[in-house]
Structure 1
Amino acid sequence: MFVTCAYAGAPNQAHRERLRAVVEDVVRPIMDEHDIPGVAVAVTVGGSPYFFNFGVASRDDGRGVSERTIFEIGSISKTFTATLASYAQEVGALSLSDPASDYLPGLRGSRFDGISLLELGTYTAGGLPLQFPDNVTAQGMTSYYRNWRPDFAPATHRRYSNPSIGLFGFLAAERLGKPFDELMEAKLFPMLGLPDTYIRVPTARMKDYAFGYSKEGKPIRVGPGVLDSEAYGVKTSSADLLRFVELNMTSAGLDEALRRAIKATHTGYYRVGAMTQGLGWELYDDPDDLKQVLAGNSAEIAYKPNKVEWFSPARHPREAGLINKTGSTNGFGAYAAFIPAKKIGVVILANRNYPIPARVTAAHRILIGAGALPF
């Protein structure tokens, strides 16, 4: 197995080696148990990044994983979509309290007259499904929404949904006047300083794009889908995703509107069990309580409707103890988490979709280990 490590700015070699040992002790058993070809782990401690790479990006040619290997991150993409929409609000292009139908003429006169952008972005529109039905096409998307009938009144239940946050991102792009993919690749990613992050991986970077592996062990990459870019379409490296995590903890030096937009995505809108819903991100009060984080990332929360308890007023971003998001495609599994008060964060990218509890537990062990080291 290929294993590489890289460090930047750390003052103490002994502490670095202890962190490496923590990461290896966590990652190797997971790779063995779930037959994962390659894993990229990135950790930030007080602004210093550390990279730990295991295995291969492709079993066919044996390319080793590095911190610039490009992985599919699935629903972690939603945190970028949320950042774009939050930015649109900060520059006056939209208001999250406005009805969704204000921004798409084809929705006027439908149930979306009474559904806000915020409800779309927080999965509380009334029960939009996890995925679009198989017969829905990009051309028929507006018709699907017009004919959709909610199961619940808006703002009463959370049902995690790609069509919900997908429409949220689509409408934000409409208000900013350009296609979503273009806004992400030509505006947001460069503003964030992310050279390895794409919706559409260019030909020149395909050699760095890992292959995911299906349950049967066959190489696979994500295919096209309705509003796929907005919901699960980002491809990035552990170095770039760690930078995004760092910017979510300290966004000094960014454009002021973007800095405010990132902070606003940590606003807590409502609670489901121990999990507080932000915009894209999911928040927890106690960063040391692994059981809470596992419960918030459970199938019960992800796949079933849950009644919500809205905060009035919304919770300030500084109240979040731990912030996280998981993401998957058929061939990849990803997780990002950070503890703002301690300035520590972790990214784990793998080219196999392995169980979410294993990701959450692994990341928590790494965060606890990193937080215990006196860097």
Structure 2
Amino acid sequence: MARGATRLAVAGATFLLGCAIAVAGEDRLARIVDDVVRPLMAEHDVPGMAVGIVVGGERRVFTYGVAEKASGRKVTPDTLFEIGSVSKTFTATLGAYAQERGAFALSDMVSRRLPALAGTSFDGVSLLDLATYAAGGLPLQFPDAVDTSDEMLAFYRGWRPRFPAGSRRLYSNPSIGLFGHIAARSLGRPFDELMPEVIFRPLGLTSTYLDVPASRMKDYALGYARDGGAVRVAPGMLDSETYGIKTTAADLLRFVAANMDGTGLDDALRRAIAETHRGRLRVGGMIQGLGWEKVEAPMTLDRLQAANASAMIFEPQPAERLDPPQPPQPGALLGKTGSTNGFGAYAAFAPSRGVGIVLLANRNYPIPARIAAAHRILRELGAVAR
């Protein structure tokens, strides 16, 4: 009875939001986005942006500025942006899918699934620890000297934890990157083959790539670094698993929408997506899911900024394991930021409201500004609190 009442309440809230936007009109929605995005771009010297909004299953994309300064090529709905660490939500989905297919369990020890690490510190680290950055202090990035698979394995074999597994969260590409690598290995295919086959195509993501094909290079934006130079992401160890996706605002918005409503998806994929939403660690005012990071109601700007503060990226944080994992609570917002040297991204959604947002830019502008912009738009839509 309680679950049924909750579903009715969620459906009602989503319906009312959709009606509110319909009554306000598409012009008002455009004005809301314009009033936030244009000053943001001016303040942070962002050349181009694409913004997507989904409400009650209806999706809109707004584009601004240029994808390339020199040519004046404009951002369009077809423009491809690097999304940096938002890629980790896709990797987490593949890992959850591997569990749904019986390829592994999140509780498995890492060395069981990657025998090359048997007899190392990874005998006591679970796949869930990897996926939630709680292995015990893996660094933010691989050392510069790690360029090959053999060097990667040597790095992991020589690593020693700073903390007991599960006790601290320290954001880490080598952590969730290894999780994605093992997920693909457990499914018997290379990661770069599995991601398009298992995630992109079933979700209808026709403009989402790990490697942009020659036919779409004309749509690939140039990113702009702090010195103003044009850049694109460089290859790196486990880059596909951690920061390698390039996509359009429409495709990323479609991914966000599928996270809110998996109707019509293969059962295993639908369950995998739901699995990524379950809270695994409480870290201050943030709850770490698989890929997604969750902030509970009331959804104020201060709470969102604290959950996305630089300390959450660069400093180890005490963590409380949630057992059993916690499903999203009414009013919660799930989100993920992502950056490369020349791009900045943010994707977030409120499942109980049926509202989601994506912000893609070809400059790595400050995360607090992204959070504030998304919060203001969502507040105007009635999806979050002040």
Deviation of the 1:15 alpha carbon: 2.1
Q: Distance in 1 between matches of 2:238 and 2:20?
A: 41
Q: Equivalent residue for 1:5?
A: none
The letter for the 2-side match of 1:263 is A
Q: CA 1:367/1:23 → structure 2, altered by over 3 Å: closer, same or farther?
A: same
The within-5 A match list for 1:115-126 is 115-126=125-136
Flag structure 2 segments of 5+ consecutive residues without an equivalent.
1-18
Q: Distance in 2 between matches of 1:361 and 1:42?
A: 16
Decide which of 340, 363, 366 is 1:329's aligned counterpart.
340
Q: Equivalent residue for 2:34?
A: 24
Q: Equivalent residue for 1:166?
A: 177
Q: Equivalent residue for 2:247?
A: 236
Q: CA 1:320/1:370 → structure 2, altered by over 3 Å: closer, same or farther?
A: closer
Of 16-25 and 162-171, the range deviating more from structure 2: 16-25
Q: Equivalent residue for 1:104?
A: 114
Q: Distance in 2 between matches of 1:295 and 1:317?
A: 19
Q: Distance in 2 between matches of 1:269 and 1:303?
A: 20
The within-5 A match list for 1:298-309 is 298-309=309-320
8 A Cα contact 2:223 2:232, kept in partner:
yes
Q: Distance in 2 between matches of 1:190 and 1:76?
A: 18
- Secondary structure (helix, strand or coil) at the match of 2:64 reads strand
8 A Cα contact 1:19 1:369, kept in partner:
no
1:278-325 deviations in whole A, cap 9, x for unaligned? Answer: 000000111531111100100111110011011222112455711000
The letter for the 1-side match of 2:155 is Y
8 A Cα contact 1:73 1:329, kept in partner:
yes
Deviation of the 1:254 alpha carbon: 0.4
Decide which of 62, 79, 84 is 1:69's aligned counterpart.
79
Q: Equivalent residue for 1:135?
A: 145
Query: What is the number of equivalent residue pairs in this alignment?
Result: 366
8 A Cα contact 1:82 1:265, kept in partner:
yes
The letter for the 2-side match of 1:121 is A
1:83-125 deviations in whole A, cap 9, x for unaligned? Answer: 0000000011110000011111210111101100000000000
8 A Cα contact 1:266 1:320, kept in partner:
no
Of 11-20 and 241-250, the range deviating more from structure 2: 11-20
8 A Cα contact 1:198 1:236, kept in partner:
yes
Q: Distance in 2 between matches of 1:188 and 1:322?
A: 22
Q: Equivalent residue for 2:66?
A: 56
Decide which of 32, 43, 48 is 1:38's aligned counterpart.
48
Of 9-18 and 348-357, the range deviating more from structure 2: 9-18
Alignment pair present for 1:176 and 2:211: no
Deviation of the 1:370 alpha carbon: 2.1
Q: Equivalent residue for 1:3?
A: none
The letter for the 2-side match of 1:148 is W
The letter for the 2-side match of 1:360 is I
Report sequence identity in percent. Answer: 57
8 A Cα contact 2:281 2:288, kept in partner:
yes
8 A Cα contact 2:349 2:356, kept in partner:
yes
Q: Distance in 1 between matches of 2:79 and 2:55?
A: 22
The letter for the 2-side match of 1:37 is P
Q: CA 1:304/1:11 → structure 2, altered by over 3 Å: closer, same or farther?
A: closer
Q: Equivalent residue for 1:146?
A: 157
Q: Equivalent residue for 2:212?
A: 201
Deviation of the 1:40 alpha carbon: 0.2
Q: Equivalent residue for 2:15?
A: none
- Secondary structure (helix, strand or coil) at the match of 2:341 reads coil
Flag structure 1 segments of 5+ consecutive residues without an equivalent.
1-8
- Secondary structure (helix, strand or coil) at the match of 1:191 reads coil
Of 185-194 and 156-165, the range deviating more from structure 2: 185-194
Q: CA 1:11/1:318 → structure 2, altered by over 3 Å: closer, same or farther?
A: closer
- Secondary structure (helix, strand or coil) at the match of 2:337 reads strand
8 A Cα contact 1:283 1:322, kept in partner:
yes
Deviation of the 1:10 alpha carbon: 10
Alignment pair present for 1:356 and 2:384: no
The letter for the 1-side match of 2:192 is D
Q: Distance in 1 between matches of 2:105 and 2:42?
A: 48
The within-5 A match list for 1:215-364 is 215-286=226-297, 288-318=299-329, 321-364=332-375
The letter for the 2-side match of 1:283 is K
- Secondary structure (helix, strand or coil) at the match of 1:130 reads coil
Q: Equivalent residue for 1:95?
A: 105
Of 89-98 and 60-69, the range deviating more from structure 2: 60-69
The letter for the 2-side match of 1:164 is S
8 A Cα contact 2:132 2:281, kept in partner:
no
Q: CA 1:289/1:106 → structure 2, altered by over 3 Å: closer, same or farther?
A: same
8 A Cα contact 2:330 2:352, kept in partner:
no
Q: Distance in 2 between matches of 1:12 and 1:95?
A: 44
The letter for the 1-side match of 2:100 is E
8 A Cα contact 2:331 2:353, kept in partner:
no
TM-score (norm 1): 0.95
Q: Distance in 2 between matches of 1:42 and 1:66?
A: 12
Q: Which runs of 4+ in 1 moved over 3 A?
A: 9-14, 317-320
Q: CA 1:143/1:320 → structure 2, altered by over 3 Å: closer, same or farther?
A: farther
8 A Cα contact 1:326 1:335, kept in partner:
yes
8 A Cα contact 2:21 2:381, kept in partner:
no
Deviation of the 1:368 alpha carbon: 1.4
Q: Distance in 1 between matches of 2:331 and 2:136?
A: 26
Root-mean-square deviation (CA, aligned residues, Å) is 1.7
1:10-37 deviations in whole A, cap 9, x for unaligned? Answer: 9847421111111111111111111111
